[in-house]
Every structure is written in C-alpha cells, then in structure tokens.
Amino acid sequence: MDAPAPNAWEELVTAALLGTERRTPPGCPPGPEAPAALLDAAAAETVRRRAGLRPGRAAARVEPAAEDPRPPLPTAAARRLAMLLTDRPGTGGGGRRGTAPDLMELLPQWLATANTQGFAPPPELLPALLDAARGRTDLRQAALAFAGARAVWLARLNPDWRFALRAAPGGGMALPHLEDTDRIRQLWEEGLFAERVALLSAIRAREPAAARELLATTWATERAEDRLMFLDSLRTGLAADDEPFLEQALTDRSRNVRATAAELLSSLPGSALAARMAVRAGACVAVDHTGSTPTLLVEAPHECDAGMEGDGVVAKAPAGRGERSWWFGQLVEAAPLATWPARLGRRTPQEIVALPVADDWQAELHAAWCRAAVRQRNAAWARALLAAPAAPEAGGPGAVSLAERSKLLGTLGGAERADWVAGFISAHGLSEAFQLLGVCAVPWSEPLGRAVVDALNIARDAGSYPWSFSGVMGLAERCLDPSEASRLDGLMAVPDETEDASPGAGGYWAEAFQRLVSTLRLRAAMAEELGAV
C-alpha cells in the first residue's frame, strides 16, 4: 500500500462533497471511473487510519459503590415502585381524567413510607428514581434519602444527576460520627457543599453549640450564598446562646445574610434586637380612649434611620408600597408579641385583635402581627388572628388573607389545625379551602375528611362540574385516610340529574369519585406491601 499523502483524508472528503466532476480525487484519473476510484481510495485510507491508531491508556477502574446496609424492599413493593416510576399521566382534554389513579402523584407518599420503614431501593431502579427526582424538585429530598449513598456515587458518573451532589441534606451520604472530630474537621473544610450542609445540620440537631462553633471557624471565608444557607441551619435549636454570633452576622456584607440574622434574632424574644424593635414598634401604636369605643391609633415611622437599618430593616420599599407602611410592618413583625398586652392596657390577644384600627391601618397591622405569630410560633396570637372558623370574617378577605391563615394554622397542633379547617369548610365550603388543606397532616383526621367529602357531595348535588374542585379532589386522593374508601362506595353511582344541573355533570362526578375510591384502595395496598399497616 502506497504511503498516504499529507491530509489525504481531508482531500478525499472535499472531493466527495464537491463531486468528482468538479474535484478529482488525489491519485485518481479524471473520467467516468473517478467515483469508484474515490470509494476505493476512501476504503484504503480508512484501513490505513485504523491500523495506525495506537490504543489509549486504560482509564482507572471506578471504585464500587458502598454496600447499603438497609434491608431490601419486599418483592411486591419493588414491583410497585417500578410501576410508579414508569407511569405517564394521561393527557386527556376537557377536564376529564377517567377513573385510573395518577400513580406519579402517589410517588412522594410511597417514598415517605419506604423511608420510614427503612428499606433500601433495588439498584436497577436507581436511574429511573434519579430521573424522576431530576424532573420534580418536590421529590428530591425523599428520593435521595431513599437512594442513599449510591445516589451520590451515580451522580459523580452522570452529570444529569448532579443535583444529588449539591442537594441538602446530603442525599443520604454517610456522615462521620460526631465523636470523630478529625473526620468532621476534614469534611467541613474539604467536603462538597451538600456534605457540609448535611454535616452542619446533623451536628446542630444534637449539639447546637458545637455546630455554631464549627461554622464560626470558616465564616469569614465562605461565599455569601453559602453563609446564607449555613445561617439558615441555625433555626434548629435556636437559643439565647446564638445571639452573639447572630449579632455579628448583622454587620455582614450581604444584605440577605443580614436580613436572615435579624429574623432569627427577632425569633428570640429575649434578644437585644427584639427589645430594640419592641421600643420602636410600641412607639407606633397606642389606644385612643377619647371616642365611645377604644381604638388603635397608628403613627408609622417618618424615616428609616441607621439604627433601624443596622437591625435588619430594609429601607427601600417594594414598588407600589408606601415607605412608612413598609417600615412600620417590619418593626411590628420583629417585635416580641409580649410587647402588646403590656402596651395596650393588659388586653388579651383576642381583645387586641378585636379593637378597631383608625385610618385604614388595620390590614397592615394585622398582617404584621400574623408574620410575628408565625415567626415566634405563638399559638395564642395565631388563634386570635384566625378567629372562629365559622365566623363571617374567616370566609372573606378580611384583614387576614388566605395565605396568612394557612401560615397561622402551621403554628397550631395537628388536631387543632384539622378541626379548624373542618369547621371552615363546613361553614364556607371548598372555594377557599385548597390552601388551608395543604397545611393539614396526612392522612386527614376523620372530622376533616368527612367535612371535605360532605362538601364535595354538596357541590355534586348543586349540579356543577367536578373539575371546578379538581384541586381539592386531587388532595383528597392523596390525603384522605384509605379506610374511608368503603364509606364512599355510594357516591360512585351516576346520580339522577335535576333540571338545573349542568349537562353530564353526574357522570363526571361518578368518575371522579370512582377514581378517588380506587386511589384510596391503591394507597392501602401500597402501605400493606411496605409493611406499614
């Protein structure tokens, strides 16, 4: 075989692209035989290139993943997981979903139960599990906890799963024992960000002071976004001992870090910042006794001075918001709620909230008290601001918005929260209940579940279409106690339609209730397969 000419392959490619009529292949005579000669030359050059290729050095063998010490999934549960991961929700139009359960919507609940039971996943399903978590951020924490350390091992091999390397609380990676100070120090100084967050959270849960001291060793050299995440971990076990560190963070060069430090300090009613905010907020609100009814008067700040800014008050108001009301809201939100009974005539929270507020300041004042009650986890103030669930103001916009009500409910115990929402639904129906239902513990208590089903039944009898309540129906599929399935059998039949009913609504409702019942029975089967019953 003749020696190849320099750049022979490139010349052959050029001749093939331009055509042999315009470009004669190298070493080939022009004419009708040129195309065949071009192919022969290309074949010879291909052999020449392959024969002259030196083998590359073999890559280092990948270290095997660590063994997962957890017991394997039961066979039936493993099959169920494969079904959940391969399900593709239907795309039927017209608001009609049919009677089949939406399996992907049950995956978060399945993962939560599997994690509670302490099972390890089948290795062959890990790629599909990570793909599902990649597409749905709401799955990631539970999916990574279930996948364990192998999720991190796989993520280092596939960039599509890199979220497992940075996701808190560490994607199930093994952490050193808290007594192993050398390993802790090494991981804190050299570990991935997710590993450091997981380490700090684990130490904070057991030894809050040790976690704070570990954070202090590298605080000055951390990036602003990392300082913010690390500072947020101090919410666990927050105590008066954290105040000096948080006071130091008030001078941080990052505005977000300063704001978070101020929020944490205001959550400590005995902190110096809380005391300063109490003085400022108290000077803005007073009781006017000159009229026939005691009334709250509000005098918002006229400026945001350096002291206020130093304590975390943001001076620049958002677009469309008045500066004075913006500053006032921040002061009240950060002041200890114990300020107000002492300031406002020894009244109880219920009595204070019931007082009229002059000059249209009620919405701003009550919204700030709502934020303070949530921040300080004050159930007494939350109850006062929520009012009775059957009260007319609970069902309307009022001074406390629906979003604020849902946050206030989060300060109450699970049973009290469910009872309040059940009372709200019984009095006001489902039109405003979706956000409130989202903060209730799963499975719903019997009174709450009964209130939801009764309200759905009332809506069906009213002749409306079920997709007007599709959000609540979807929640019911995931949150009703599976034991309620037998009680719903009577709702699966197509009811007789009244003259004023929407055409075909009865059939749609029957489908919706059939799907609800089949989903509840599927959830019961899932729990049984995982040994959770």
500 located within any domain: yes
pLDDT at 496 (0 to 100):
63
241 located within any domain: yes
pLDDT at 507 (0 to 100):
82
* Statement: the pTM of the whole predicted model exceeds 0.85: no
367 located within any domain: no
Structural domain tally of the chain?
3
Which CA distances in Å does 45 have to 11, 25, 37, 50? 11, 12, 12, 9
236 located within any domain: yes
The domain boundary residue, chosen from 268, 290, 316: 268
Instruction: Please answer whether residues 415 and 437 qualify as being in contact, where contact means their C-beta atoms are separated by less than 8 angstroms.
Output: no
The domain boundary residue, chosen from 268, 286, 311: 268
The domain boundary residue, chosen from 237, 268, 299: 268
Q: Which amino acid is at 295?
A: T
pLDDT at 390 (0 to 100):
85
Comparing C-alpha atoms, which of 53, 41, 54, 50 is closest to residue 2? 41
pLDDT at 356 (0 to 100):
96
Burial 98-115 (b: 16+ CB within 10 A, else e): eeebbbbebbbbbbbbbb
Low pLDDT (below 70) residues in the chain: 1-6, 52-53, 88-98, 166-175, 393-399, 495-504, 533
Instruction: Please answer whether residues 197 and 189 qualify as being in contact, where contact means their C-beta atoms are separated by less than 8 angstroms.
Output: no
Give the integer Cα–Cα distance in Å for 509 and 506: 5
Q: Could you read off the pLDDT of 457-515 as tens digits, one per residue?
A: 888 888 777 878 888 999 999 999 999 888 888 777 776 666 555 666 778 888 889 99
Find the domain containing 34 and state its range. 1-41
pLDDT at 393 (0 to 100):
67
Tokens of 337: 């709620």
37 located within any domain: yes
274 located within any domain: no
244 located within any domain: yes
Cis ω before 26 (30° cut-off from 0): no
Give the integer Cα–Cα distance in Å for 263 and 255: 12
DSSP states along 48-111: HHHHTPPPPPPPPPPPPPPP--SPBPPHHHHHHHHHHHH-------TT---SS--HHHHHHHHH
Which CA distances in Å does 353 have to 357, 398, 412? 9, 12, 18
pLDDT at 170 (0 to 100):
42
105 located within any domain: no
pLDDT at 77 (0 to 100):
97
